[in-house]
Homo-oligomer: A and B are copies of this chain.
């Protein structure tokens, strides 16, 4: 990668910073872009620039939005009694894509990871407490975190904090995902599936 002309080298190092992208894939992107018309590349650059210029945060749910409050929090038809707490806006997007949830959201901005230095004070715990006292106050809190140690730690910590409110606290069901083979399922998942078994 040493003999590359500077503009190619620069762009490769930018793509290289994206999650999951190494130098070979970055170079492949740049060679693709070299065959793209100039005006399209200009628009791509403009889109990059507009990202920070136009995007702001919703004061209610803390997600990325063009207008505050965001389209979900401002939607009169949404169920104001349910509040789904997620780690990142992308998790919110994943739940929205199911089309099965009609309540509101709150984005924590991460999960507790003491080893990485992400302690509760670095997440939006205070903002969540403020949100609990804001109108419309939620009647149910749904924790929708990744089913791993960080997710469980955050669930435990938050449920202690929120215990003082007269609300229902739930978390996403755990069990076998669609298409899984029982034979190859790990013990924890199978235990979860057994514990959470439902009447047919």
Contact = CB atoms under 8 A, between A and B. Distances in A.
Interface of A: 1, 3-8, 10-11, 14, 17-20, 25, 27-34, 36, 38, 41-55, 64-66, 71-72, 88-90, 93, 96-97
A47 B49 CA distance: 12
Contacts of A88: 31
Contact of A48 (B25, B33, B89): B33
Given A3-B71, A34-B64, A50 B10 contact: yes
A3 B93 contact: yes
A14 B47 contact: yes
Given A5-B65, A66-B7, A90-B28, A45 B55 contact: no
A48 B8 CA distance: 9
A7 B64 CA distance: 10
Nearest to A25: B20
B8 A64 contact: yes
Given A8-B55, A41-B49, 5 more contacts: A18-B29, A34-B52, A41-B51, A41-B52, A45-B45
A17 B41 CA distance: 12
A29 B30 CA distance: 16
* Complex A-B, nearest 6 residue pairs according to Cβ-Cβ distance, in ascending order: A45-B45, A45-B48, A38-B52, A10-B47, A5-B66, A7-B54
Given A19-B28, A49-B42, A55 B7 contact: yes
A33 B49 CA distance: 11
A65 B7 CA distance: 9
Contacts of A93: 1, 3-4, 27
Contact of A51 (B17, B34, B64, B66): B34
Contacts of A44: 14, 48
Contacts of A29: 18-19
22 contacts: A3-B71, A5-B55, A5-B65, A6-B54, A7-B47, A7-B53, A7-B55, A8-B51, A11-B47, A11-B51, A14-B44, A14-B47, A18-B32, A19-B32, A30-B51, A33-B51, A34-B52, A41-B49, A41-B51, A41-B52, A44-B48, A45-B49
